[in-house]
Amino acid sequence: MAKCRIKPILSAEEAVKNINNGATIMVGGFNYGGIPYSLVQALVDSGVRNLTLISNDTAYEDVGHGLLIKNGQVKKIIASHIGLNKATQRLYNDQKIELELVPQGTFVERIRAGGFGLGGFLTPTGVGTEAQKGKQLLAVNGKEYILELPLTADVALIRAHKADRYGNLIYFGTNRNFNPTMATAGKLVIAEVDAVMEVGSIDPNDVVTPGILIDYLVLKGDSYYAART
């Protein structure tokens, strides 16, 4: 089914009602940058549990989606780095959370494969390391590669700079990171933005994410971290 042409603008609280217990979610962001802070805070407040979280890192214990981990709302994490969040480290050491660590380039490419209709891809990254454990190795022209499989999610929560009412998105600074890729790989995609503008006010040459990928728009809130990014 095609998505609405004119995207509904929801509050963060309304938007995260689309995320149920046990859902697999993608959350954009790298370190402090490009996290959809208002959406993840609403998800924390919703109390939804047993989530599988696909995000590059797990932010910090008291920042962004790091709070989902600290609150015990996440059962499994797929990420490249968890070192910034002490709660993740603690829960993992106590065997209270499942963790799949993926090299960062492989992480984003798996999401890209998921969103772009690929069955997987071959990467030299991780050959001869723990990262190849349980995966198929293939030799192409005498060089070894790991077969990596796609990642998709029930819902992708992303952060962009501005949207038009059709959901076309532009990004700003280092807030871009994983967001445009995750926008292709969620069944439902919710974008948190600084501003929503009339159709025609974004030059089509500047659009990074076409609006046909987006379901809902949410305006960025004014919490400390949301405001400064």
Q: What DSSP string runs through 26-55?
A: EE--BTTBT--HHHHHHHHHHT--SEEEE-
Q: Of the two residues 71 and 89, which places its CB atom closer to other proteins in the complex?
A: 89
Query: Nearest distance from residue 57's CB to other proteins, in Å?
Result: 8
- 51 with 25: CB under 8 angstroms? yes
Structure-block tokens of residue 135: 């995966």
**What is the Cα gyration radius of the chain?**
18
Query: Nearest distance from residue 13's CB to other proteins, in Å?
Result: 25
Identity of the residue numbered 206: D
> CB under 8 A: which stretch of 39-47, 97-105, 197-205, 213-221 binds other proteins?
97-105
Binding of residue 126 to other proteins (CB under 8 A): yes
Binding characters for other proteins, 151-190, by CB under 8 A (x = yes)? --------------------xxxxxxxxxxx---------
Task: With CA atoms as reference, report the closest residue to 186 among 175, 178, 194.
Answer: 178
d(CA 214, CA 117): 17
Query: Nearest distance from residue 21's CB to other proteins, in Å?
Result: 26
Single out the residue of 32, 76, 90, 221 in contact with other proteins (rule: CB under 8 A). 32
Task: With CA atoms as reference, report the closest residue to 157 among 112, 180, 191.
Answer: 191
Half-sphere exposure of 113 (CA within 13 A, CB side): 17
Binding of residue 125 to other proteins (CB under 8 A): yes
Query: Nearest distance from residue 220's CB to other proteins, in Å?
Result: 12
Three-state secondary structure call for residue 180: helix
Query: Nearest distance from residue 125's CB to other proteins, in Å?
Result: 5
Q: What share of the chain is helix, strand, coil (3-state, %, to 5)?
A: 30, 30, 45
Q: Of the two residues 165 and 176, which places its CB atom closer to other proteins in the complex?
A: 176
Three-state secondary structure call for residue 195: strand
Q: Of the two residues 1 and 228, which places its CB atom closer to other proteins in the complex?
A: 228
d(CA 25, CA 51): 7
Q: Of the two residues 65 and 176, which places its CB atom closer to other proteins in the complex?
A: 176
Binding of residue 80 to other proteins (CB under 8 A): yes
- What is the binding site for other proteins (CB under 8 A)? 30-33, 56-57, 79-84, 89, 92, 99, 101, 103-106, 108-109, 112, 123-131, 171-181, 208, 228-229
